[in-house]
Amino acid sequence: MLHLPYRELPVSDPGTPDTRSPLRFLVWLAGHQKHLLFLNALFGIGWMVSQALLWAAVGAAIDHGISRHDPRQLWHWVMIVMALGLFQALCGALRHQLAVTNWMQAAYRTVQVIGHHITITGTALTDEIPSGDIVNTVAADAMRIGGAYDVFARFMGAIVAWVVVSFILLSASVELGLIVLIGVPILASLTTPLMRPLHAAQAAQRETAGRLAALGSDTVAGLRILRGVGGEEVFLDNYRRQSNLVRLAGNRIAMPQAGLESGQVLLPAVLTGIVTYLGARDVMNGTLQAGQLVAFFGYATFLTTPLRTAIEYVIATTRAFVGAGRVLRILNVTPLVKEPEVARAWPTNVESLEDRSSGVRLERGKMVGVVTERPEEASTIADRLGRFLPDSHGVLVNGIALDEFSVRDTRQNVVVSEIEPRLFSGELRFELAPHGYTHDGPIYDALDAASALDLLEALEDGLDTTVEERGRSFSGGQRQRLSLARALLSEAEVLILVEPTSAVDTHTEARIAMRLGAARRGRTTMVATTSPLMLERMDIIYVLVDGHVVAQGDHETLLRDSPRYRHIVLRNESA
């Protein structure tokens, strides 16, 4: 089989989608693969038209070869039949290959734009749309959108083949030609009244399925709490009730869809019967030859394919339209952090990252500690420096406002590791280093810096171990150390750690404190913590009260000169 050029997925830049309407979004997707769609349409036309011409060649073989007892003409038309068959097979294979490619291109570009939007919307998205519904959109609706581009080539072939067959019939019998030319669109239009109820039923079913997925996700996430309060039966009843609503919504889809599906069989059968009857009558009257009758019967049988394809395309585009509406529901959620109209180029080196609201200043290559009485204050500063909050006007990069740079550049250069480590399911190697390495050396170095090599040694499959959902097979301290190793592997120019050792024992914390500086040598690091073991390794420490710096200096100086620092740190130590 000929191997056509393809684009590796995911693409480096999926582009900016047109979110004004579902139709515009689908057109935008088509624009990004228009060359493949055009080429696929050519193969689809060749595949479908060659099937139609096959019957013309068979009819000619009967009339010119068999009826006239002319072996030369018979072999001539037999060779044409074989050539059309080979051409049909070639076009069919290439059409199918490109159809799958177009399906995947559209589906996974949709997944990418959703993923990119999720990264910049922050909590605004999950505040408006349940996480389970978002997952369902990615898993189901994106695939339905791709289905419309899968059927596209066959649909284009169906239209051209219908026109070709109509004109062939017109040249032999005006009556039969007009019946096909006019009858096919009329028969296809009989399915139109079913489209609006099908669209509405599919949208309603998709809505109820999304709620069911969200309910299931929330139930699984809170399973321990449910068991603790004895609420399993209540949530089971809720899940059963919502499942029943999904079932009823699916039943409402069945009627219009069954009408369309049965129309794919009934309507072509009606057309076949009409054409066959009229053709046989013309043969009996002597106005048609026997070979032409065979060809006409073949055309009538063949026309079932274009008509069924047209109905299939209508069903696929209806599903895609509903899916695009669900995608736009996500894409139209306004991000908490807005992109600048014209973004500045990120500086070659970040000499300083300053939060004027609090007075915290990170200088290049320094280990900076931040001490607060309330943990939420440290998290707020970290989110502000990492540009996770809508208001970052007071944050400066080399003296320039952080919000003048793109969010993407900020995420690539300023990495914030949260206080609650999160692990996803998958192979541990790629959980720690999602972008991969040519060898595992850097991963082992990061694990050593996070004092997590002992954890790796306890795993039978090492880095090949499959991490369970949410990393539930690991303890809190193990998850925290793996999360720290993952943060170190980002090799971010600026790394912000919030309580990176709160869940580990003192001996492990001491090892991490000793190794962290070496792992981050030459890069800027901020550690929000109240641990003396970590703080004594910092180049400079900022003490904050009510979100503002009240003292600064190294660990020894602050212990001596700052009662507030001693109160926070030593109280934590004694605890």
Residues 270 and 370 in one domain: no
Residue 345: inside a domain? no
* pLDDT surpasses 80 at 191: no
Which of the pair, 505 or 122, is modelled with greater confidence?
505
- Top pLDDT among 102 and 13 is at 102
Asked whether residue 342 is assigned to any structural domain, the reply reads: no
Provide the whole-model pTM: 0.66
CB count in 10 Å sphere of residue 281: 13
- What is the DSSP secondary structure assignment for residue 493, as one 8-state letter? S
Q: List the CATH number of the domain containing 378.
A: 3.40.50.300
Contact by Cβ (8 Å): 109, 29: yes
Highest mean pLDDT among 162-176, 205-219, 489-503: 489-503
Question: Domain limits at 439?
Answer: 352-574
Q: What percent of the chain has pLDDT over 70?
A: 79
Answer yes or no: is 546 within a domain. yes
The three-class DSSP label of residue 491 is coil
- Predicted confidence at residue 552, as pLDDT, reads 95
Strand, coil or helix: what is 503? Answer: coil
- Measure Cα distances from 301 to 61, 163, 260, 271, 407 in Å: 19, 15, 19, 9, 58
Asked whether residue 294 is assigned to any structural domain, the reply reads yes
Note the pLDDT of residue 170: 77
Whole-number Å distance between alpha carbons of 294 and 292: 5
Please report the pLDDT score of residue 1 as a whole number.
46
pLDDT at 575 over 60: no
In a shared domain, residues 288 and 367: no
Locate 264 and state its tokens.
């794919």
Residue 291 contacts residue 61 (beta carbons within 8 Å): yes
Q: Are residues 316 and 419 in the same domain?
A: no
Strands, E assignment, 105-206: none
pLDDT one-digit tens code per residue, 344-357:
999 999 999 999 99
Output the six-digit token pair for 136: 């369902």
- 318 and 373 share one domain: no
Which of 296, 331, 366 is where one domain is finished?
Answer: 331
- pLDDT, greater one: 255 or 494: 494
Say whether pLDDT at 33 is over 60.
yes
Decide if pLDDT at 519 tops 90.
yes
Domain membership of residue 372 (yes or no) is yes
> Could you tell me the pLDDT band of residue 285, with boundaries at 50, 70 and 90?
confident
* β-strands 395-397, 352-355 pairing: antiparallel
Do 154 and 58 lie in one domain? The reply is: yes
| Mean pLDDT computed over 60-79 | 73
Q: Over the Cα atoms of the chain, what is R_g?
A: 33
Highest mean pLDDT among 96-100, 274-278, 337-341, 536-540: 536-540
> What's the pLDDT score for residue 393?
72
Contact 49, 88 (CB under 8 A): no
- Same domain (yes/no): 316, 359: no
Mean pLDDT of 31-54: 88
Instruction: Name 360's bridge partners.
Output: 355
At residue 213, the pLDDT reads 65
Angle between helices 71-121 and 304-331 (to 10 degrees): 10
- CATH code, 121: 1.20.1560.10
Residues 309 and 364 in one domain: no
Spatial CB neighbours of 562, under 8 Å, sequence gap ≥ 6: 543, 550, 551, 553
* Shared domain check, 73 and 112: yes
Contacts of 444 (CB under 8 A, 6+ apart): 453, 456
> Considering its fold, how many domains does the chain have in total?
2
Residue 221 has pLDDT above 70, yes or no: no
Residue in 283, 315, 319 with CA at minimum distance from that of residue 155: 315
* Cis peptide bond upstream of 10, omega within 30: yes
Give the least confident one: 184-188, 245-249, 352-356, 507-511.
184-188
22-31 vs 71-121: helix crossing angle, rounded to 10: 120
323 and 356 housed in the same domain: no
Which of 133-147, 251-265, 412-426 bottoms out in mean pLDDT, i.e. has the lowest?
251-265
Evaluate whether residue 336 is within a structural domain.
no
* 415/450 same-domain check: yes
Return phi, psi of residue 30, to 5°: -60, -35
For residue 86, pLDDT over 50 is answered with yes
The b/e string for 315-340 (b: 16+ C-beta within 10 A; e otherwise) is bbbbbbbbbbbbbbbbbebebbbeee
307 with 383, same domain? no
Region 102-120 average pLDDT: 88
| Residues 382 and 431 both lie in one domain | yes
